[in-house]
Amino acid sequence: MAVPKRKHSKSRSRSRCTHDVEHITSITSCLNCNNPLKTHQACAACGFYKGVKVLRTKAERAVKRGQVAQAKQARKEAQQPVAQTEPAAAE
């Protein structure tokens, strides 16, 4: 097993460990909806970044999925032939 020939200095050891520090993140509020968010991130609640809409939110995607499902159902119903019922014979 390899053994170090000399002791590492404090500065060398500490330089190696500089990236192990836990960094403090800044928190700001969204300009559109005032929800708290990290700096330089798009807001997850409204999808805005610096006043511009850049993301579709979860609620918007759900609404779109519902509209697509309704359109598919309407197309399916339009394609199916309507069963014609014969009028009851009057006796």
Strand blocks (E) in 40-82 = 48-49, 52-53
Please state, as a whole number, how many other Cβ atoms lie within 10 Å of the Cβ of residue 76.
9
pLDDT at residue 22 in the model: 86
Strand blocks (E) in 22-90 = 27-29, 36-38, 48-49, 52-53
Quickly state the pLDDT bin for 58 (edges 50, 70, 90). confident
Average pLDDT of the segment spanning 6-14: 92
pTM over 0.85: no
